[in-house]
């Protein structure tokens, strides 16, 4: 007798499960395909505050990835590079995310998940990652963008859930913001915590100020 109810629940779960559309390209705020050869700002949906580099919590390097709190609101431009170097960037596919502007640290500007910060009890996102070379060695360097909802402009959450190593064990987590050491720093967040929704803004359009 319970079966129909269980089935109905399963259908509901299926319908609402946030499953990324495999094969969909990432779209910028104008609805254009996101490309590997262009620079973008990643901005929080709603308030438009972008991402930048910031002094590490403890040591000076590598730099933390953080959200801007002052002008320019856009933060620093970024580039995406897929694990297979595809020309267009796809949803739910492993990506290197890399700032384009050189900073005070000599490390690379590729995002990575930093070593666990025991003092603060969090995994912070920093620069200093390795680009390319998908596999177990580079597990901490891959991020995915997954679409939230279907309305325009395309809005995404950033996810740490690498597929580049089938035999590796790790917890899939969302990338979000945490207020630590007087800054809004990017960290891995538990599933039950609010999602950090972002839109992708072409950096070139911003520079040219086309209207």
Ligand X SMILES: *[C@@H]1O[C@H](CO)[C@@H](O)[C@H](O)[C@H]1NC(C)=O
For binding to ligand X (CB under 6 A), which residues are involved? 23, 82, 84, 86, 90, 93
Query: How far apart are CB 156 and ligand X at their closest, in Å?
Result: 16
Query: How far apart are CB 22 and ligand X at their closest, in Å?
Result: 8
Query: How far apart are CB 36 and ligand X at their closest, in Å?
Result: 10
CA distance linking residue 137 with residue 142, whole number of Å: 11
Residue 142 or 201 with smaller CB distance to ligand X:
142
Token pair listed for 189: 């967040």
Residue 84 or 115 with smaller CB distance to ligand X:
84
Query: How far apart are CB 103 and ligand X at their closest, in Å?
Result: 30
Q: Phi and psi (nearest 5°) for 90?
A: -105, 155
Residue 93 or 158 with smaller CB distance to ligand X:
93
Say if residues 51 and 78 touch (Cβ distance below 8 Å): yes
Whose CB is nearest to ligand X?
86
Residue 21 or 168 with smaller CB distance to ligand X:
21
């Amino acid at each position: 007798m319970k079966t129909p109810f269980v089935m109905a629940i399963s259908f509901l779960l299926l319908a609402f499960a946030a499953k990324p559309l495999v094969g969909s390209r990432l779209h910028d705020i104008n609805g254009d395909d996101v490309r590997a050869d262009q620079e973008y700002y990643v901005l929080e949906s709603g308030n438009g505050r972008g991402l930048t580099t910031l002094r590490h919590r403890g040591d000076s390097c590598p730099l933390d990835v953080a959200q801007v709190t002052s002008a320019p609101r856009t933060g620093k431009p970024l580039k995406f590079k897929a694990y297979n170097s595809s020309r267009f960037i796809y949803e739910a596919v492993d990506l290197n995310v890399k700032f384009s502007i050189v900073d005070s640290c000599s490390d690379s500007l590729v995002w990575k998940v930093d070593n666990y910060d025991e003092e603060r009890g969090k995994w912070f996102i920093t620069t200093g990652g390795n680009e390319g070379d998908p596999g177990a060695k580079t597990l901490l360097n891959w991020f995915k963008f997954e679409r939230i909802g279907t309305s325009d402009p395309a809005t995404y959450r950033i996810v740490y859930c690498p597929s580049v190593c089938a035999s590796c064990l790790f917890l899939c987590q969302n990338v979000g913001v945490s207020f630590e050491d007087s800054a809004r720093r990017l960290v891995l967040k538990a599933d039950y915590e609010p999602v950090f929704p972002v839109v992708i803004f072409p950096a070139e359009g911003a520079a040219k100020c086309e209207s």
